[in-house]
Amino acid sequence: MFLGIDCGTQGTKALLLDASNGRVLGQGSAAHTLISGANGRREQDVTQWTTAFATATRAALTDAGVDGREVLGIGVSGQQHGLVTLDRDGRVLRPAKLWCDTESATENAALLDWLGGEQGSLERLGVVIAPGYTVSKLLWMKAQHPALFEQIAHILLPHDYLNHWLTGRACAEYGDASGTGYFNVRTREWDLSILRHIDPSGRLEAALPELIAPDKAVGRLRPEIAGELGLNPDAIVSSGGGDNMMGAIGTGNISPGAITMSLGTSGTLYAFAEQPRISPQSSVATFCSSSGGWLPLICTMNLTNANSVIRELLDIDLDQFDVLLAQAPIGAEGVAMLPFLNGERVPALPQATASLHGLTADNLTRANLCRAVVEGVTFGLRYGLDLLRESGIRSERIQLIGGGAKNPLWRQIVADMMATPVVCTMHSEAGALGAAIQAAWCHARQTDTPASLAELCQRCVSLDEATAVEPEAVAVRAYEQAYRRYRGLVSATYGQQAPPDLTTVAQ
């Protein structure tokens, strides 16, 4: 029995997996809240994560009706790019800045300029640093909180921090490290000179966690944590990883040929690659995977969060939202939304704001607003799919995960907009499932070096064919027109930063 934890923006999910037969025995969850500011600040108090970890774990154990002392291993999936800083006594210095925080956009621009622009960043790191990446948060902290900056003894990502809380060790693995902005994805090594540029004293490089491979254990549970959580004190804690890397494992996306799309707070698309083929498109991040390869990926900053804003504006619940969504036609009778509430990464518009277009006295309806926001956020993923396919990624089917994947109409919209068949995995909480599978892999490797991750995924990951949908030809053509309008609006509003005219999926 293995415990998978997924610590996301909106909450923490726990999942108990019997790795011998692939059965999910129990699940639990607990919510988080955000610290937000009009300047793009998006932060969280890390005590929310540990409290939610404990709550979700107890709920999963209760749901399964099992004794936590039977758990052999724990894997942690965490939201990428966040910055957690500790002092020499292990105290957290300030709230964690999250992946969706754009307060450090100015610092990111300065660092990108120092690297030689997008091309220089690609040549040096294999990725183009973006405002959400960890590195600019360090430079921001130096400028805004210099006294706290001087106390930094450990620099951790969110999942690294939870592993540290569980074991007392500070470690990182290649996949999550890929999104820091001070890691070379080709060589799988820290790029120390970038940190020396921020602070020549060398303190930042000394604060980096030890890099370990994805099939290695961070350590065993601290006795006091095992007692608090009701878990086996001999349980191992695997390397864990970023939510997208764990989602890839949790959808069996560990060999070429699959594309996973996640409809969560953010939207992500990723595929497995055996070599680090770096895309010339800056929005494609060729991160390391947590399964031994690479994970070309695009991420949008806005997805279900934008839907939630419209629901709150209209004072409707999720069921009412779905009813209204179904009432509006494709294109929402001309109502269009650029849903850049948190700025945007794809297209690269970190300081953009959201906007509504095409409103008239006749089309300004609740149904059209609901349709416009869903179409707007999904167009960003369509743009990302174009970029992935331009870089050589191919797939005959999209595997859909995340909360939005549970909506049948949204699944059909995705299939039509991408002109590609869509299917959900049996367990939509792929991050938590992937973390549990990775923990089982790590545990097996301790006594059986050739233990296969592929065999574990084959046993534990399955598709839910009842959710499968095919694109409808009439809808595909209609969405192609609506997508071109979206691109035109981005171009008219933001000029040169608009998406290029790529070969369309329909062609």
Mean pLDDT calculated for residue range 387-405: 89
What's the rounded mean pLDDT across residues 165-186?
97
CB atoms near residue 4 (< 10 Å): 35
- pLDDT, position 131: 87
In sequence order, which residues have a C-beta less than 8 Å from that of residue 375 and are 6 or more positions away?
A: 330, 331, 332, 336, 337, 413, 417, 482, 486
Q: Give burial (CB, 10 Å; 0-12/13-18/19+) of 177.
A: buried
pLDDT band at residue 502 using 50, 70 and 90 as cut-offs: very low
Residue 440 in tokens: 């089982």
Give the 3-state secondary structure of residue 466.
Answer: strand
Catalytic residues: 243
d(CA 25, CA 18): 7
**pLDDT classification of 277: cutoffs 50, 70, 90:** confident
User: Averaged over 135-162, what is the pLDDT?
Assistant: 98
What lies within 8 Å, CB to CB, of 228 at 6+ separation is 54
Q: Is 458 left (phi over 0), alpha (psi -120 to 50) or beta?
A: alpha
- Fold designation for 304-380+472-497: Nucleotidyltransferase; domain 5 (3.30.420)
* Segment 116-130 mean pLDDT: 95
Average pLDDT over residues 256-274: 91
| pLDDT value at 389 more than 70 | yes
Average pLDDT over the chain, rounded to an integer: 94
Q: Give the model's pLDDT for residue 499.
A: 47
Residue 342: its pLDDT value, please?
87
Percentage of the chain beyond pLDDT 90 is 87
Is the pLDDT at 222 greater than 50? The verdict is yes
Burial of 280 (0-12, 13-18, 19+ CB in 10 A): exposed
Question: What is the pTM (predicted TM-score) of this model?
Answer: 0.90
Instruction: State pLDDT tens for residues 415-448.
Output: 999 999 999 999 888 999 999 999 999 999 998 8
* Tokens (6 digits) for 123: 């040549």
Q: Which amino acid is at 478?
A: A
Output the CA angle 31-411-308, nearest 5 degrees: 35
What's the pLDDT score for residue 450?
A: 86
Higher pLDDT, 246 or 394: 246
Residues of the chain with CATH 3.30.420.40: 252-300+389-469, 304-380+472-497
Burial 34-56 (b: 16+ CB within 10 A, else e): beeeeebbbbbebebbbebbbbb
Q: Is residue 386 within 8 Å of residue 393, measured between CB atoms?
A: no
Given a contact cutoff of 8 angstroms between Cβ atoms, the answer to whether 208 and 176 are in contact is: no
Q: Give residue-wise pLDDT tens across range 441-493.
A: 999 999 888 889 999 999 999 999 999 999 999 999 999 999 999 999 999 99
- Close Cβ partners of 71 (under 8 Å, ≥ 6 residues apart): 1, 2, 3, 16, 231, 232, 235
Helix (H, G, I), strand (E, B) or coil at 157: coil
pLDDT of residue 496: 46
Work out the number of other CB atoms within 10 angstroms of the CB of residue 491: 15
What is the distance in angstroms between the CA of the first residue and the CA of the last residue of the chain? 47
- From the candidate CATH numbers 3.30.420.40, 3.30.465.10, 1.20.120.1200, 3.30.56.10, the one assigned to the domain spanning 252-300+389-469: 3.30.420.40
User: Burial of 278 by CB count in 10 Å (0-12 exposed, 13-18 middle, 19+ buried)?
Assistant: buried
Residue 506 has pLDDT above 80, yes or no: no
Q: What is the C-alpha separation between 118 and 369, in angstroms, rounded?
A: 36
Distance CA 178, CA 222 (A): 28
Q: At what angle do helices 105-115 and 117-125 cross, to 10 degrees?
A: 80
CB burial string 400-428: b at 16+ within 10 A, e below: bbbbbbebeebbbbbbbbbbbebbbbebb
How far apart CA 17 and CA 462 sit, in angstroms, is: 14
Smallest Cα–Cα separation from 250: which of 218, 290, 209? 290
Q: Which residue has the higher pLDDT, 124 or 39?
A: 124
User: 179 near 287, Cβ under 8 Å?
Assistant: yes
Residues paired with 300 in a beta bridge: 267
Helix axes 408-418, 318-327, angle to 10 degrees: 40
Give pLDDT, residue 507.
Answer: 35
186 strand-pairing partners: none
Mean pLDDT, rounded, for 226-232: 96
CA pair distance 246, 433, nearest whole angstrom: 8
Answer yes or no: are the C-beta atoms of 111 and 194 closer than 8 Å. Answer: yes
Calculated CA dihedral for residues 431, 78, 224, 211, nearest 10 degrees: 110
CA dist 337 and 125 (Å) reads 34
- Structure token pair of residue 159: 């999942």
Angle at 174 between CA 171 and CA 179, to 5 degrees: 100
- How many residues can be counted in the chain? 507
Give the pairing type, strands 236-238 and 217-220.
Answer: antiparallel
Per-residue model confidence as pLDDT tens digits over 38-95: 888 999 999 999 999 999 999 999 999 999 999 999 999 999 999 999 999 999 999 9
